[in-house]
Amino acid sequence: MTVVYQRFAALRPANTDEATLHPITTGELVGAVTICNQDSVSRTYRVAQTDAATGSAASGEDWLAYDTPIEPYITHTVKIYGMTGTATIRVKASVADKLSFVLSGMLVT
């Protein structure tokens, strides 16, 4: 068994479309998505953990955070547990180019 601690992905969406933050193709990921509002007004975000491969939209049961409000210049954390196989982390921001998403944690293979 190998355990690797690292930053897996970072994204600052250029639009308000749902986007892939990071796919898992092997092992098990335990970590957190950190969301930072870099705007001077409140915004909202979404974070999903899907069982589908990259590119598949999140379903209703996949959302870990849904239209969660985040105040100006504040950071939130959404925990990720037991992400394996063809799972994917998907994110959505309420505004373009103002929210950043960073996935960090450990991968066990």
Which residues span the domain enclosing 18?
A: 3-108
pLDDT in tens, 33-70: 999 999 999 999 999 999 876 667 898 999 999 999 99
pTM given for the model: 0.92
Look at residue 26 in the predicted model and tell me its pLDDT. Answer: 84
Q: What angle do CA 78, 31, 108 make, to 5 degrees?
A: 155
- Name the domain count of the chain: 1
The pLDDT of residue 25:
83
Residue 54's pLDDT is what?
A: 66
**What is the b/e burial string over 86-108, where b = at least 16 CB atoms within 10 angstroms of the residue's CB?**
ebbbbbbbbeeebbbbbbbbebe
Q: What is the CATH number of the domain that holds 9?
A: 2.60.120
